[in-house]
Structure formats: structure tokens, C-alpha cells
Amino acid sequence: MTPARIVTLTMNPALDITTTVEQIHPTSKIRCGDARYDPGGGGINVARVAHVLGASVSAVFPVGGATGGRIARLVEDAGVPYRNTEISEPTRENFTVNERRSGEQYRFVLPGPHVTLREQSRCLDELRLAAAKAEYVVASGSLPPDVAPDFYQRVADLCRELGALLILDASGAALTSITSGVFLLKPSLRELRECVGHELHDEAEQLAAAHELIDRGVTQAVVVSLGSQGAFLATAEHSQHFPAIPVRSVVSSVGAGDAMVAAITVGLSWCWPLSEAVRFGVAAGTAMLMTPGTEVPARADVDRFLGMAAQPTDFESVCD
């Protein structure tokens, strides 16, 4: 098997279950529609989208119990090569309910299994094998309970040793514990606030926060997702805003950020300029909004939205 150019790591995968109801209300039974089952967790979602886009990608993740076995089969059915580590506790499930009457979406996310130190080490061993000749490693998603917040720093150190570029999409303590070694960091605006430890009241403060992370040596580039306002990219040399692509309605917002990360990474693996890769990411994230659950978008839909994506606009430098 040819080594993958992109390797993803998902430390807290999930079986994503999506269904619909007429209306959510307390106490009495709520009759659900048919359920959709998808393999989930940040890195797995990234790998599935990257595969559909035509990239050379493989996934690394722990699995436990019947749920973990089902996730592995679904990843295999999606055509994504993978390496998995067996753990003693069962892999979690996540539950998404779409309410027809209001159009609202409700997401119920479980914390995940307890992963022992030995199991964590085996995950890193599998990542080392999978990423030995990779160009990019994408670490994405939450960490399971009892996994130390500095786990992603260990991943960053491993990537530095292997010569692979790390793209990180994390939150909470797993994000704020990173001190160095990231090539591209993809926080939301809320997560960017967590990184710098204070409120960001306007665009100038948001840009300054992103450049603070670059100046501290945490990362070489920051892509901040802004929801309906699009996204912005910050590097040591420049900053750019990428407008959102307008859509008439959203089917599901689950996995849109993962699709964005996937397309950015794929673009970079094709030697695209970073700015163009981010435009590709905005297009993929938009296409993901049009799919149910965490179903990945078709390549044709991503390309169609890429054709609709406006060129980015440059910000004035905030580095001085």
C-alpha cells in the first residue's frame, strides 16, 4: 500500500446517529423517524471528505466494543484506509435530532470512553507508523476523559520528529495546552478567545489574537471560522478575509468545520497556495451544510461552491 500523504488522528471517535421528529417535548415518548448512522469524530470526518475530494488519506483512531467495530466497518465502507487501536471501553455514540416543526437541530454529545495510558501510547505508535512518510497530519476533535490536555502537544512533537506538518482543530484545554509545533491552527472565534484568554470585541482584536499565537510560536498560520461571516486567515506576512458563500437553507451544520479542514489540507497537499486552499475549505464547508447528518458532500458540489466563492480581501497588517 502506498503511504498516504495525509493522515488524520481521531482520539475520540463516535458513531453519529441522526434522526428527525415532529416536535421535541418533555416527559412523553417522542417517535423518531429513520435513523442515519455515520462514522464520526473530527479526524474521521476529515478523512472521509478528503477521500471524496480525491486525496491520498488514511485515518488513525481507537475503537472499543460493538460501537467501535461498527465505526471501523463504516470507515472501510467509505473507502478510507485506516489503522485502529483496540481499547477496553466502548466507543461513544452521538445523537442529532432535527425537529421538523421548528427547523431547529439538537445535538447530544457524549464524553467518550476512558482511554488508558497504555492505549494512548499505542495510538501514538499507530500514528507514527501511518505518518512515517506523510506530508500532513490532521489532529481533530475532542480528547476522551482522562487523556491529558497536553496530548496534542505530544502529537505536535511527533510530527516535528517525522517531518510532517500538523494541522490542528481542537477546543478547550486540548487547544490551550498547545505551545509549539503546529503548522495551521483552525479555531472558531470562541476557541480563539479561549487561546488568548480574553474577549475579542472587534475584527482588529480578533486579528491581533491570531497573530499573538503566531508570534508566540504556537503555529505558523491560523484560520478562524466565523460562521455566516466566513473565515479569516492570518500568517506572519499577511491576513485575509474570506466571505461566506450564501445558501438558501441549511440541512445540517454537523461536520462543516471538519469539511473545511479537509479541503484546506487537500489543497495544500496539491501544492496550492494557502489562500486558495482556504477558499477550497470554505467551499467544502458550505457543501457540507447541504448534507444530512455527517454525510460527506460530492466533489461536484464542492467544486460548484468553489466557483461561487469570492476572492479574499486583504486586511491591513496588524504585525507592526
Give the catalytic positions in this structure: 258
* Cell 520528529 belongs to residue: 161
The size of the chain, in residues, is: 320
Q: Is the Cβ–Cβ distance between 312 and 55 less than 8 Å? A: no
Q: Which of 23, 156, 15, 32 is nearest to 93 (CA)?
A: 15
Q: DSSP for 275-289?
A: HHHHHHHHHHHHHHT
Closest CA to 260 of 233, 234, 292: 233
Residue of 75, 154, 142 lying closest to 117 (CA atoms)? 154
H-helix or E-strand spanning residue 50: helix 42-52
- Beta strands in the chain, from DSSP E residues, in sequence order: 6-9, 14-21, 36-40, 57-63, 82-86, 92-99, 105-109, 136-140, 165-169, 182-185, 219-225, 231-235, 239-242, 313-314
CA–CA separation, 23 and 42 (whole Å): 29
